[in-house]
């Protein structure tokens, strides 16, 4: 099925020339938008009668290294919202370890630490 023909969607329009998020789903899936911003959308999903409700967050981390702490705080805040099973996916604009990068500028440990701490909190 062509994504553009789906009539069930939630979107966050880009600010300027980059960014923007989209969430598309088929009919028969109940979606409740809990919150959204320029960097994420957070929804509760139910597939059908009697199916469990779970949470899905599409995320786009801040591309400026100096503002990544705002991304990590957003994830912490979202984590505190409820206790439903949660899937968090997206582009976090960061790596967990230097082993994730090949042939590029070395990442400082302090730069990755915030992302590592948020990741451990979610486990």
pLDDT tens-place values along the chain, 123 residues long? 454 556 677 777 777 776 778 878 877 788 899 999 889 999 999 887 788 999 999 999 998 889 999 999 999 999 998 899 999 999 998 988 888 877 667 777 888 899 999 988 887
For 64, residues 6+ apart whose C-beta sits below 8 A from its C-beta are: none
Q: In the prediction, which pLDDT does 40 show? A: 92
Q: In the prediction, which pLDDT does 61 show? A: 92
- Map out the domains of the chain with their CATH numbers: 3-122 (3.60.10.10)
pTM: 0.82
Q: In the prediction, which pLDDT does 109 show? A: 84
Q: In the prediction, which pLDDT does 107 show? A: 75
Q: In the prediction, which pLDDT does 1 show? A: 45
Find tokens 């979202």 and name the residue: 78
């Amino acid at each position: 099925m062509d994504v553009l023909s789906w009539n069930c969607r939630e979107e966050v329009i880009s600010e300027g020339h980059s960014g923007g998020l989209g969430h598309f789903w088929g009919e028969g899936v109940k979606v409740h938008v809990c919150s959204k911003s320029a960097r994420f959308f957070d929804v509760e999903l139910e597939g059908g009668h009697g199916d469990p409700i779970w949470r899905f967050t599409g995320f786009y981390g801040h591309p400026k290294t100096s503002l990544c702490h705002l991304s990590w705080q957003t994830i912490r805040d979202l984590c505190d919202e409820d206790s439903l099973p949660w899937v968090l996916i997206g582009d976090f604009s960061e790596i967990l370890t230097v082993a994730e990068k090949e042939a590029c500028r070395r990442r400082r440990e302090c730069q990755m630490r915030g992302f590592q701490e948020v990741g451990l909190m979610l486990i």
